[in-house]
Structure formats: C-alpha cells, structure tokens
Amino acid sequence: MNFAIKKHDLIVILTGAGISAESGLSTFRDNNGLWETYNVNEVATPEGFKKNPSLVWKFYNKRRQQLKNVKPNNAHKTITYFQKYFHNTHIITQNVDNLHEKAGNKNTIHMHGTLERIICTHCNYSRNDLDKISEIPICPECKNYLRPDIVWFGEIPYYLEAIEKLLKESVLFIGIGTSGTVYPAAEFINIAKQFNAKTIFINKESVNNHSIDYFYQGEAGSLLEEVFNEIINMCKN
Ligand code: APR
C-alpha cells in the first residue's frame, strides 16, 4: 500500500457477517450460511412476519440467545487497537450482533438494526431486551405484536443520511467480511471512491469491485493486524 494518511483523517470501516464468523456466528451466503438453511422470505421480510410471526421469532430467538455467550474475535479487537491510533474511525456494520461493542469498538452504526432491541410493529414503543421469549411478545402500550429491531428485506436501512456524510468525507474506506451483494451497503465503497477515498477490502472469498484499490484475501482475524499496522506505519501525522 502506498498513500498519504494522517492521524485525524476520517476513516470508514464497513463490516459484514464475515467479521463475526471467527466468533462462531454463521454468515448468510457462505456454504452452510443462514440463507441456505432458512428461507429469507419467510424469516427476514415484513410479509414473512405478517404470515408467520412465531417462525420469525423462533429464528431470531436463536440468534438472540447466541449473543449472550459469543465473544469478539481478533478482528474486532484489532479494530479497538486501530481506533486508539486513528480516533476518527467510524464503523458502519451490517451486523445485528453486539461484538463490536463487546470488543470496545467506538462510533459503531448498526445500519441493519440490532438483536438487542425489540420494537412495536405499530407504535413507537421499543426496549432493550435479550431475554428468552417463548410467546410472540405484545406491546405494553398498544397491544400489537412486537418484533426484533432488524431491518428486513424491503425495508430502509437506518442512519443513511449520516452514513452518506461519512462516506463523502472519508479519506480511507475499509470493507471487512462482506460479500457486497446487499444494497445499499454494497455501493458504499463506490461512493467513498467517487469522493476520493483510498479503498481497502479484506474478505475470505474474492470480491469483484472496480472501486477496490487494495484487496486482501483471507480471514479477518489474522489479516487485519498486518493491514492495520501497515496503515499505522504509513501515517506521517
Ligand atoms: N474473514 C473475512 N471474511 C470472511 C470470513 C472471515 N473469517 N468468513 C467469511 N467471510 C466472508 C465470506 O467469504 C463472505 O464473502 O464474509 C462474507 C459474508 O458475506 P454474507 O454472508 O453475504 O454477509 P453480509 O455481506 O454481511 O450480508 C449482508 O445480507 O441477509 C443480509 O441483512 C443481512 O446484513 C446482512 C446482509
């Protein structure tokens, strides 16, 4: 790698399911990924929830229970180390787990929601909740069904305005562990590149995107340290 970077430059890290894979959480599109075992239309769309809310809750309960025991891996920890040096580093994650937070990562935006929250399907009620739920939970305020605070297919991701601002102002964009197949996240790298950011991508399988300047193929848990140290060494303040 060879580019200019300063300690206070704005850096955006986009993460996907691949960064949590080494913690034992399944990705979506790898072999044995979640979308091979479950029908995405049944468990991750508003229509699926309307049709069979208990099936959807069963799917998310399993994920919610996993969160209690799962630990951040070396990739999450290396981001904490990197942010100590580059304070102006922001994480945009498509993940609904809490591993960035558990690792002490700062400035994390959960654009696809979070398993830690449940929300009402009708009113503004919401609460943090990771307790086991056996029946479909009911809103204490309006008595309609509660649902996981997850952005499903066909819904608009959270914080898009703030994300666009970060992408346009970023000097460096780093994608980690995402197949780059789900929009709008898939085009964040193109926006950053268009606004002159250098771009790095770290992924287990190859990713074809003309906006990638530097691609590192392998597992984030071992590769990130090497890549981040190289960036730190290039920083002239
Ligand atoms: N290190 C780096 N990359 C990895 C690792 C690893 N240890 N393990 C797997 N990967 C890569 C895979 O090769 C794959 O390209 O992570 C990528 C994960 O891709 P997806 O399963 O498609 O997950 P993601 O890109 O996060 O999916 C986006 O799709 O269904 C939705 O809402 C869901 O947020 C999710 C969105």
Alpha-carbon gap, residue 163 to 187, rounded angstroms? 12
Q: Please give the angle made by the CA atoms of 221, 77 and 218, to the nearest 5 degrees.
A: 15
What is the CATH architecture of 34-68+118-150? 2-Layer Sandwich (3.30)
Atom of ligand 1 nearest to the CA of 30: 21
Q: What is the pTM of this model?
A: 0.97
User: Cα of 201 to ligand 1 centre, how many Å?
Assistant: 13
pLDDT at 132: 84
Confidence (pLDDT) at 32: 82
- Token pair 């449940």 in the structure block, residue: 118
Q: Domain boundaries in the chain?
A: 11-25+72-112+157-234, 34-68+118-150
Q: What is the pLDDT tens value at each position of the chain, 237 positions in all?
A: 999 999 999 999 999 999 999 999 999 988 888 888 889 999 999 999 999 999 999 999 999 999 999 999 999 999 999 999 999 999 999 999 999 999 999 999 999 999 999 999 999 999 999 998 889 999 999 999 999 999 999 999 999 999 999 999 999 999 999 999 999 999 999 999 999 999 999 999 999 999 999 999 999 999 999 999 999 999 977
CA–CA gap between residue 29 and residue 213 (Å, rounded): 24
pLDDT in the model for residue 155: 97
For a substitution probing ligand 1, which of 41, 176, 179, 205 has the most ligand atoms within 8 Å of its CB?
179
Q: How far is ligand 1, taken at its centre, from the CA of residue 28, in Å?
A: 6
**Environment class of residue 178 by beta-carbon count within 10 Å: exposed (0-12), middle (13-18) or buried (19+)?**
buried
pLDDT of residue 22: 98
Task: Report the C-alpha dihedral over residues 191, 196, 198, 202, rounded to 10 degrees.
Answer: 10
Look up the CATH number of domain 11-25+72-112+157-234: 3.40.50.1220
Ligand 1 neighbours by CB, cut-off 6 Å: 16-18, 21-22, 27-30, 33, 94, 112, 177-179, 181-182, 203-205, 219-221
Catalytic positions: 112
Q: How far is the CA of 39 from the centre of ligand 1 (A)?
A: 17
- Taking the centre of ligand 1 as the mean of its atom positions, its distance from the CA of residue 179, in whole angstroms, is 5
* Lateral strand order in the sheet of 113-120: 126-128, 113-120, 146-150
